[in-house]
């Protein structure tokens, strides 16, 4: 599927006026800049709760922005120079926390946005972490496994002086996985001088055999399902029999799809970077996930014999559809779980759903978001919908710190408790401030951050 960005991004609703904090801090004037967009959402909520000016300006910029370049020997003998980032947005509530991604389009403003969202996610779910994010500009699929391992070890070495088990704790994101976290942890452990057990906590999302938590791999998808189960009854959509479309079918959405299917939902359409598929009777996400893992995408799945052996139902009647047909597919819940800013006004105009649950971070442009709001689509924002990943990362960190292991049922129950409480916090803030759910979720997180700044004060 194409990732090309249309030249302009206009929408029916008027563009909201620019917050004075943007000019005070010298922000770019481009309203579609992802970082400006994310800070704008935060400032709207700050205004709603009448947050102190000093907290607004602190949260509008990351504390630290680190950019690194490092060489790696490739298998043909030549050396290639890679660019990496680690952004530490805020640590008022605890150590910086946030994943790192491998993607060819990684750049500074995106990583800054993702780091800011982490601060708000942790504050909303009330886990004692701040926000950070990292990335390397690289197409991981173009590298051999040993090259990927060397890139990971050099990236870890390049940022090892600013991370640490009690200071900044990375995790997986787009293009990275448990194996990459294992190489990362190993590099830090052999080179940091920390006692081994403590150093293991430097990264979460590790394989279960190497200090990882039960349930971490599916955690973000599980969290999406938990939030939907908590909120949909209030919106009048029964879980059983509801129709769902998934944009993206990687870690997050393949798990969200499998879990929602097991809860009785019909996953009617899925699109990833290779194809778009539809089945009005419901796609079998278990079989599709097994196929996608082996084939690096869902393209060609429709040619499979109906019984793949991995699924819970036979997938009959799968059709290949266009990108436009995908967006136009009627459903109850649309779940974007791919990259940022894919939903522009053009896509938003086509979408035919009642609820959008943001499994991906910042999946809409501001103008796309306004079109969805105008259409009356209920948006469950990313800082709520996809907070399950960092929540189980916190559980992993806690287990490592106290040398215990939790069973899968305990992880699921604790995750559900955190996700339901966060959903109720956002709903409660929506009532109090009479605003949309995105502003309400930011407001509920900001109330906590604002209170902590009030009692801590600002040094000196």
Give the tokens for residue 102.
Answer: 């491998």
> Of 26-34, 196-204, 331-339, 428-436, which segment contacts ligand NAD by CB under 6 A?
331-339
178 binds ligand NAD (CB under 6 A): no
359 binds ligand NAD (CB under 6 A): yes
Q: State the catalytic residues.
A: 133
Residue with Cβ nearer ligand NAD (192 or 204): 204
Interactions with ligand NAD, residue window 188-247 (CB under 6 A): 220
Residue with Cβ nearer ligand NAD (295 or 434): 295
Q: How far is the CB of 171 from ligand NAD (least distance, A)?
A: 7
Closest CA to 87 of 74, 77, 96: 96
Q: Which residues contact 75 (CB under 8 A, 6 or more apart)?
A: 144, 146, 147
Number of residues lying near ligand NAD (CB under 6 A): 24
395 binds ligand NAD (CB under 6 A): no
Residue with Cβ nearer ligand NAD (251 or 266): 251
Q: How far is the CB of 106 from ligand NAD (least distance, A)?
A: 11
Residue with Cβ nearer ligand NAD (230 or 272): 272
Using CB under 6 A, pick the residue from 62, 84, 165, 337 that binds ligand NAD. 337
Using CB under 6 A, pick the residue from 36, 243, 251, 261 that binds ligand NAD. 251
Q: How far is the CB of 21 from ligand NAD (least distance, A)?
A: 25
What are the DSSP calls for 87-139, one per residue?
EEEE-SSSSEE--EEEETT--HHHHHHHHHHHHHHHHHHT-S--EEEEEEE--
Cα–Cα distance measured from residue 89 to residue 140, given in angstroms and rounded to the nearest whole number: 26
For residue 115, give Cα distances in angstroms to 184, 297, 424: 19, 28, 24
Specify the long-range contacts of residues 33-40, CB closer than 8 Å, at least 24 apart: 33/109, 34/109, 34/110, 34/113, 34/340, 34/341, 34/362, 35/109, 35/110, 35/112, 35/113, 35/116, 37/113, 37/362, 37/365, 37/366, 38/113, 38/116, 38/117, 38/362, 39/116, 40/16, 40/366
1 binds ligand NAD (CB under 6 A): yes
Q: How far is the CB of 7 from ligand NAD (least distance, A)?
A: 17
Give the tokens for residue 158.
Answer: 């390049």
389 binds ligand NAD (CB under 6 A): yes
Give residues in contact with ligand NAD (CB under 6 A). Answer: 1, 3, 172-175, 220, 248-252, 271-273, 297, 337-339, 359-361, 386, 389
């Amino acid at each position: 599927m194409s990732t090309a960005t249309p030249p302009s991004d206009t929408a029916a609703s008027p563009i909201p006026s620019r917050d004075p904090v943007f000019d005070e801090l010298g922000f770019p004037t481009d309203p579609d800049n992802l970082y400006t967009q994310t800070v704008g959402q935060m400032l709207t909520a700050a205004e709603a709760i009448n947050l102190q000016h000093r907290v607004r300006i602190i949260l509008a910029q990351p504390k630290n922005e680190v950019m690194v370049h490092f060489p790696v020997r490739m298998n043909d003998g030549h050396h290639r120079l890679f660019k990496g980032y680690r952004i530490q947005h805020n640590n008022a509530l605890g150590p910086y926390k946030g994943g790192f991604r491998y993607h060819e389009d990684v750049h500074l403003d995106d990583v800054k946005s993702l780091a800011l969202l982490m601060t708000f996610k942790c504050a909303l779910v009330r886990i004692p972490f701040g926000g950070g994010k990292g990335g390397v500009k690289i197409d991981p699929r173009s590298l051999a496994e040993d090259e990927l391992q060397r890139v990971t070890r050099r990236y870890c070495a390049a940022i090892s002086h600013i991370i640490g088990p009690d200071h900044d704790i990375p995790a997986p994101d787009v293009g990275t996985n448990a194996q990459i976290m294992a190489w990362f942890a190993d590099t830090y452990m052999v080179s940091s001088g920390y006692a081994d057990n403590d150093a293991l906590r430097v990264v979460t999302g590790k394989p279960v055999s190497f200090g990882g938590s039960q349930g971490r791999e599916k955690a973000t998808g599980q969290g999406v399902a938990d939030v939907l189960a908590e909120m949909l009854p209030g919106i009048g959509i029964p879980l059983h029999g509801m129709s769902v479309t998934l944009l993206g079918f990687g870690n997050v959405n393949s798990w969200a799809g499998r879990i929602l299917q097991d809860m009785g939902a019909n996953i009617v359409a899925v699109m990833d970077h290779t194809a778009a598929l539809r089945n009005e009777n419901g796609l079998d996400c278990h079989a599709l996930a097994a196929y996608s893992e082996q084939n690096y995408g869902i393209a060609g799945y429709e040619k499979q014999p109906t019984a793949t052996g991995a699924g819970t139902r036979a997938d009959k009647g799968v059709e290949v559809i266009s990108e436009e047909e995908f967006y136009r597919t009627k459903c109850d819940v649309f779940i974007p779980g791919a990259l940022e800013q894919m939903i522009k006004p053009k896509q938003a105009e086509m979408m035919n759903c009642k609820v959008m649950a943001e499994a991906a971070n910042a999946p809409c442009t501001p103008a796309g978001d306004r079109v969805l709001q105008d259409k009356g689509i209920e948006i469950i924002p990313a800082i709520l919908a996809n907070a399950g990943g960092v929540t189980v990362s916190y559980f992993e960190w806690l287990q490592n710190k106290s040398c215990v292991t939790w069973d899968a049922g305990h992880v699921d129950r604790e995750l559900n408790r955190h996700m339901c409480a966060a959903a109720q916090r956002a709903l409660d803030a929506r009532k109090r401030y009479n605003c949309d759910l995105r502003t309400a979720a930011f407001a509920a997180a900001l109330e906590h951050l604002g209170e902590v700044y009030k009692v801590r004060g600002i040094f000196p």
